[in-house]
Amino acid sequence: MKKFLENLNKPQQEAVLYTEGALLVLAGAGSGKTRVLTRRCACLLDKGVSPLNLLALTFTNKAAREMKERVADVCDGGDKIWVSTFHSMCVRILRREIEALGYTRDFTIYDSDDSTRIITTCMAELNINKDKFQPKGIAGEISRAKDENISVSEYETMNGSDFRLGNVAKVYKLYQKKLREANAVDFDDIISKTVELFKKNPDTLEKYQSRFKYIMVDEYQDTNTLQYNLIHMLAAKYGNICVVGDDDQSIYGWRGANIRNILEFEKDFKGAKVIKLTQNYRSTKIILDCANSVIQNNTERKSKELWTQNGGDEKITFYSGDTDFDEAYFIINEIKRLSSEKNMVFSDFAVLYRTHATSRVIAESCFKNNLPYRIFGGVNFSNYEEIKDISAYLKLINNPSDRLSFMRVINVPKRGIGLTTIGRVEEYANEHNLSMYDAAKQSHLINGMSKKNLSITAFTDLIDRFTEFSKTNSVNALVEKIITDIGYRDELKSINPDKYEQKSENLDVLVSKALEYDLHAQDSTLSEFLSEMSLGADIDNLNEEDNRVALMTLHNCKGLEFPVVFIAGFEDGILPGYRAVTSGSTKELEEERRLCYVGITRAREKLYLTAAKKRDQAGRELSNPPSRFLGEIDQTLLERQESEKRFRPRDKATTHVSPRLKADKPHLQKAYEMNAYDRKIPAPKDVTLEYAAGDTVSHMKYGKGEVLAIDPGGADYEVTIKFGDDFGIKKFMAGFAKLKKIET
C-alpha cells in the first residue's frame, strides 16, 4: 500500500485516488477531510504531477496554514503547492496582473472601516442624507452586488428607478471612482477584479488555467456566486476539480454563500463522481446522535448520517436557568468542576452563542470569578487605532495615491496642520488631478499656504525618507523606524496614559508580526505584508497553548473543535434567531438549524446546551421559550438540570448608580452594587468616565441621550441611557459605546 493511503478508510482512499475529472466529496463534520485533501496532493505528486500545477483553496488563513504544513509533511515538493485562501490567491494574481485593469501593483486594500469612510464622503458629495441612508447599510448593499458579480452599470440599470437602490447606485459609482483614483481595492474587489481581469484578458486566464491543472476547493458549501464563477473559469480547460464540503454546514447565507453551489455540483459538472465521508473521528456517539437528530429535519440537504467508533456515554446536558446570570454561573461552575475533577485546562472549553449580546453576562462573570477567557470575533487586531495609524503610514509609503491613508496620518502625531490647510491641499489635488501626497509636495504653489508650508513639507519629506528606507530594509525594520522616528509611543502616552501600556503592547505585536513575516516570506515585500495584514481574521490567532476559555459566536467556531462545548442562549428568538422564528421562512430556519448542527459537532467529549427563562438584552427583559431544536433531539440523549436560584434578577426600580469616581465630585460616589453572590462588586480599576448620571451624551448610532445610571460591571461600567422616542432606554458597556459628553 502506498504511504499516502495509510490509515485511511475506504471512502477516504477512494477520494484520494480519484484524481481525473470532477469530484464532489461530501465530508461530514470531523470526517477527516483535511487528511483527504493533503493525501490527494501526495497522490498527484506520486503520479508525476508537478506541484506547480496544483491549487488548493480554502476560506481562512488558519485552515490554509494547517493544510500547507500537512502537505509539506506527507510529500516531497508539497511546500511548492499553491495552498491559499480565495482572497490571498487573488491578491497574489492581482499583484502580478492588475496593471491590465489600469491599477498599479502597489494598490492598497481597504478594510470595511475604510470603505465606510469613503462611502460617507461619497454620500456627502451627493447630498444623500445619512439619517435616511446609513453608510454601513449602503456598504452592505454594494458588497452584496459585488458578491453577485454585478457591476456599477448593471446595478444602475437594474435599480435606477428605485428611490433607495437608485441612491445606492449613485454612491456605488462614485465609490468605485474614488477607489480607482486612490489605486485601492476593497475586500470584495479582490475577487471581483480577478474575475474581471480573466474576462477582459483571455490570455491571462489561459495562463492560470494551464498552470492550475488540478484544483481542490475546501468548504465548497461556503462559496458565493463570485467565487463559483472564479472556480469555473480556472477549471474550464482541464476539468480536474475536486470540491470538498458539507451542505449541512452551510451557515453563511447572510453574507452571500450559496448552498445551491454544492447541492447542484453534479449538474454543473456532468459525470461528476460523489463520495460521502460519514465516519466521524472527533465526537462521541451521543453527540453525533444529537447532531443527526437535529439536522435530519432539514429538507434542503443531501442525505447522510454521521457515525463513529469512539466511546463515551456522557449525555447532553440541558440547563435552564432563571436568569442569564444563573446561566453564566452554571457554565463557570461546570468549567471549574471539570478542570478540577478531570485535570482539564481552560483552553479545553468553548462557550458558543448565536450573537455577541449573549456573551456579555458570561464574560463579566468570568472576569469576576478570575476565570481566564478570550472573546473571539470582537475587535480585529488590525482595527485597533494604533495599528491603523502605523498601517496607514505603511500604506502611504507603499501607495502614495492612497488618499485615505494620507488623511489619517498627516496629523499623527499632531503637526498643527489644520482642516483649512488640508482642505486647500485637497482642493489643489482635485483641480490638478493629483493625489493628496503629490499635491502636498507642491504646497509652495498653493495660495495661502505660506505659513503652513514648512509643516506640510516636513511631513512629505518624512514619507520620502521612509520610502527610501523601505527599498533596502526589511518590513520589520521599517515598522520600528516609523514608530521611533515619529515619536509615536510618546504621543500615545501623552494622549491617554491609562491606556498606554495596552496600546504599546499592541505595537509590540505589530513589530513581531512584521519580524515573523520577514523570516517566513519567500520574497519579503511591503505590499505582501500589507496584504497579509488586510486579510487576517481574529480567529486565525487562536492559539491552543493560550490557556483561556474561548468565547465565540457559532459562525466563528466552524473548523474548530474542543473537548467541552457550551452552547449558550439555546432559546427561540436567539437560536434560532428572532427573524427566522417570525418570518415563516423555511430557508432561514434551515440555516439556523445548520448553525445549531455546527455548534453541536464542535464538541469532542461533552456538550452542554444552556438557556435562561429571563435575560436582559439591549435594555429589555426577554422571556424566551427553550429552542425548538431542543424538541428535535432524541430525548433519551438528554439530561436536564434546573436553576438552583443562586442568582436574583436585578431589581430595576432600585438599580444603584455608580458614576465615575472623581475627587472633584465626591457626592456622586455610590456604594457598590450587590452581585449574584451577595458580594460587592468594586468599581472598575483604570476606567475613568467623562460623564456622570444626569449628563447628556452622544452615541454614534442613537444620537443624544440622558445618562440614567452607571453601574460597575467588573472590568467596565454598564451605562443606562434614555434616548428619544425612536430608541427608548438602552444599556451599553462604556468601553465599547464610545459615548461623548455634550455640554449643556
Please give the pLDDT value at position 559: 84
Q: How confident is the model at residue 668 (pLDDT cuts 50, 70, 90)?
A: very low
* Rounded alpha-carbon distances, angstroms, from residue 81 to 84, 213, 245, 654: 9, 12, 21, 64
Please give the pLDDT value at position 66: 81
**33 catalytically annotated:** yes
The answer to whether 426 and 406 have CB atoms below 8 angstroms apart is no
**Cα gap 716→687, rounded to integer Å:** 7
**Cα gap 264→259, rounded to integer Å:** 9
Amino acid at site 212: F
**Cα gap 147→255, rounded to integer Å:** 9
**Cα gap 294→288, rounded to integer Å:** 10
- Asked if pLDDT for residue 667 goes beyond 80, the answer is no
Please give the pLDDT value at position 642: 81
72-81, 239-248, 271-280, 380-389: which has the minimum mean pLDDT?
A: 72-81
**Cα gap 478→463, rounded to integer Å:** 12
- Asked if pLDDT for residue 74 goes beyond 80, the answer is no
Please give the pLDDT value at position 164: 86
The answer to whether 327 and 611 have CB atoms below 8 angstroms apart is yes
Q: Which of the residues 12, 13, 33, 571 is marked catalytic?
A: 33
HSE toward the beta carbon, residue 422, CA cutoff 13 A: 14
182-196, 328-342, 354-368, 480-494: which has the minimum mean pLDDT?
A: 354-368
Q: Which of the residues 602, 613, 730, 731 is marked catalytic?
A: 602
**Cα gap 345→373, rounded to integer Å:** 12
Q: What is the mean pLDDT of residues 175-188?
A: 93
- Asked if pLDDT for residue 1 goes beyond 80, the answer is no
Q: How confident is the model at residue 735 (pLDDT cuts 50, 70, 90)?
A: low
519 or 662, higher pLDDT: 519
Please give the pLDDT value at position 98: 95
Query: What backbone torsions phi and psi does residue 243 show, to the nearest 5 degrees?
Result: -115, 135
Please give the pLDDT value at position 50: 93
- Asked if pLDDT for residue 672 goes beyond 50, the answer is no
HEC profile for 551-598?
EEECCCCCCCCEEEEEECCCECECCCEHHHHHHCCHHHHHHHHHHHHH
Residue 659: is the preceding peptide bond cis (ω within 30°)?
Answer: no
R_g of the chain computed on alpha carbons: 28
Q: What is the pLDDT of residues 201-224, one digit of tens each?
A: 999 999 999 999 999 999 999 999
Q: How confident is the model at residue 601 (pLDDT cuts 50, 70, 90)?
A: very high
Q: What is the pLDDT of residues 417-429, one digit of tens each?
A: 888 888 888 889 8
- Asked if pLDDT for residue 415 goes beyond 60, the answer is yes
Cell of 577: 434567531
Give percent of the chain above pLDDT 70: 88
Please give the pLDDT value at position 542: 60
The answer to whether 571 and 588 have CB atoms below 8 angstroms apart is no
**614 catalytically annotated:** no
Q: Which residues does 724 contact at the CB level (< 8 Å), separation at least 6?
A: 703, 704, 705
- Asked if pLDDT for residue 660 goes beyond 70, the answer is no
Q: Which of the residues 97, 106, 218, 348 is marked catalytic?
A: 218
Selection from 491-505, 532-546, 697-711 with the highest mean pLDDT: 491-505
**Cα gap 710→658, rounded to integer Å:** 5
In 463-574 the beta strands, taken as DSSP E runs, fall at 549-553, 562-567
HEC profile for 417-478?
CCHHHHHHHHHHHHHCCCCHHHHHHCHHHCCCCCCCHHHHHHHHHHHHHHHHHHHHCCHHHH
Buried b / exposed e along 315-334 (16+ C-beta atoms within 10 A) = bbbbbbbbbbbbbbbbbbeb
- Asked if pLDDT for residue 46 goes beyond 50, the answer is yes
Query: What backbone torsions phi and psi does residue 643 show, to the nearest 5 degrees?
Result: -65, 140
21-25, 111-115, 468-472: which has the minimum mean pLDDT?
A: 111-115
Q: What is the mean pLDDT of residues 43-66?
A: 88
Please give the pLDDT value at position 378: 57
Q: How confident is the model at residue 194 (pLDDT cuts 50, 70, 90)?
A: very high
Q: Which of the residues 13, 34, 221, 308 is marked catalytic?
A: 34
Please give the pLDDT value at position 669: 31
165 or 656, higher pLDDT: 165
**395 catalytically annotated:** no
Q: How confident is the model at residue 726 (pLDDT cuts 50, 70, 90)?
A: low
Q: What is the pLDDT of residues 331-357, one digit of tens each?
A: 999 999 999 999 899 999 999 999 888
Residue 384 is given by DSSP the state S
**Cα gap 23→242, rounded to integer Å:** 5
- Asked if pLDDT for residue 541 goes beyond 70, the answer is no
Q: Which of the residues 141, 219, 572, 590 is marked catalytic?
A: 219
- Asked if pLDDT for residue 404 goes beyond 60, the answer is yes
What average pLDDT does the chain have?
85
**317 catalytically annotated:** no
Closest to 659 (Cα-Cα) out of 671, 651, 647, 649: 671
Closest to 569 (Cα-Cα) out of 550, 590, 551: 551
**Cα gap 268→22, rounded to integer Å:** 10
Please give the pLDDT value at position 130: 79
Q: What is the mean pLDDT of residues 597-610?
A: 96
**Cα gap 570→596, rounded to integer Å:** 9
**Cα gap 675→649, rounded to integer Å:** 10
- Asked if pLDDT for residue 312 goes beyond 70, the answer is yes
User: Cβ atoms within 10 A of the Cβ of 14, count?
Assistant: 16
* 21 Rama class: left (phi>0) / alpha (psi -120 to 50) / beta: left
Closest to 357 (Cα-Cα) out of 381, 382, 385, 378: 378
Q: Which of the residues 13, 38, 249, 720 is marked catalytic?
A: 249
**522 catalytically annotated:** no
Selection from 56-70, 305-319, 713-727 with the highest mean pLDDT: 305-319
- Asked if pLDDT for residue 444 goes beyond 50, the answer is yes
Q: What is the pLDDT of residues 84-96, one digit of tens each?
A: 889 989 999 999 9
Q: What is the mean pLDDT of residues 675-684?
A: 37
Q: How confident is the model at residue 738 (pLDDT cuts 50, 70, 90)?
A: confident
Q: Which residues does 688 contact at the CB level (< 8 Å), separation at least 6?
A: 498, 660, 662
**Cα gap 552→229, rounded to integer Å:** 32
Residue 497: is the preceding peptide bond cis (ω within 30°)?
Answer: no
Q: What is the pLDDT of residues 543-572, one digit of tens each?
A: 656 788 999 999 989 889 999 999 999 999
**125 catalytically annotated:** no
Q: How confident is the model at residue 615 (pLDDT cuts 50, 70, 90)?
A: confident
344-348, 398-402, 723-727: which has the minimum mean pLDDT?
A: 723-727
Q: What is the mean pLDDT of residues 584-605?
A: 94
